[in-house]
Amino acid sequence: MGATQFICPSKERIGISECLSACPNAIRCMGKPTLEAVANSVKDRGLGEIYSVTELISGTREVYLKKTTDYAVDPQDQIFAMHGTAVHSICEKHSSSFTLTEVRLSNDIYTGQIDAYGDLLGNGKKILLDYKVTSSFKAAMALGYYKVDEPTGEFYKTGAKKGQEKTRKVIKTGGVRHILEWAIQVNAYRMLLEEHNFKVDDMHIQMYVRDYSLRIAAERNVEKPIYLIKVNRISDHWLKRYFAIKKRRLEEAMATGAIPAFCSKRESWNGRKCQDYCNVFEACKAYMEQQDVIQNNLINAA
């Protein structure tokens, strides 16, 4: 079970192994090495019954379907995810012997891979650093940037708004930083390090903004390719409770075969993730349609 097919530019589907063996089209949609890298990025990591931090943070329903159904991925949609993998590899190659990089640690609840740990910022503190490749939109949200309407001192002289003061959009800083999911993830890694006797003084996310040079990024006040965001500590008690609950829900679903409840608003990005960004949306939709048929049959039989 897992990602077994690629979605071609024509929207036709082909087994991943078949695609890599021989493309059915006159020319491949991208180089074979890139397709092989995509195939490697979507394959099961073979962690067995141990669940990763990222799996447990994700919607339980989504993870369950990924583990129990075959699904297809569009290689084009996986490229930005591979950018993150490339960043990790580059940084790992240039890390000193006094830095931990790409180390996997586990406890009795989850497993996680540490991007980088050590005296990374030159201030003598033991820093946990997590790399994120993201868009300028998400970067602006993470930095706490927001827009407000600011009066210009001018007034409309004609039209429906005659007499009303004109305003312009102005970006303000110091707003709410929308990094909850990242903060939970980094704190989970911090807890792993501390449980293995590594002191963590501070935690930071290092954001790589892939579209920082575009005009739309400048309009969002995002003008640099890299930003450092400090992450505050989250209670260990809360973290253990949160991950234990998520783990129990996933284990129960895997043991019983009962599909978990819908993903929460946070997990589904208020529904935006479902159709456009979830690889198992079709399996989820098929299940919902099946349940509707069953429900209608029960009503008709009553």
Q: Is the pLDDT of residue 302 over 70?
A: no
Whether 98 shows a pLDDT value over 70: the answer reads no
pLDDT of residue 171: 92
The strand ranges marked E within 8-69 are 13-15
- Per-residue pLDDT tens digits for 6-63: 999 888 999 999 999 999 888 999 899 989 988 888 887 666 678 999 999 999 999 9
Sorting pLDDT into bands at 50, 70 and 90, what band is 88?
Answer: low
Q: For all residues of the chain together, what is the average pLDDT? A: 88
Instruction: Report the half-sphere exposure of 46 (CA within 13 A, side-chain side).
Output: 2
pLDDT of residue 63: 92
Indicate if the pLDDT at residue 91 is higher than 90: no
Least confident piece of the model among 20-24, 154-158, 296-300: 296-300
Nearest to residue 262, comparing CAs of 248, 273, 254? 273
What pLDDT digit, counting tens, does each position of 266-281 carry? 888 888 888 888 888 8
Q: Name all domains of the chain by residue range, CATH numbers in brackets.
A: 44-293 (3.90.320.10)
* pLDDT-derived band at 299, boundaries 50, 70, 90: low
Provide the whole-model pTM.
0.85
Q: Which of 145-149, 189-193, 267-271 has the lowest mean pLDDT?
A: 267-271
48 versus 87: the higher-pLDDT residue is: 87
More confident residue, 195 or 95: 195
* Residues 6+ away with beta carbon under 8 Å from 48: none
Per-residue pLDDT, 288: 77
Residue 44: per-residue pLDDT: 74
pLDDT above 90 (res 287): no
- In this prediction, residue 219 carries a pLDDT of 92
Residue 222 reports pLDDT greater than 90:
yes
How many Cβ atoms are within 10 Å of 108's Cβ, its own excluded? 9
The Cα–Cα gap between 298 and 290 comes to 13
Average pLDDT over residues 122-140: 93
Separation in Å, CA 271 to CA 107, 110, 279, 283: 32, 27, 14, 16
Decide if 58 contacts 279 (C-beta within 8 A): no
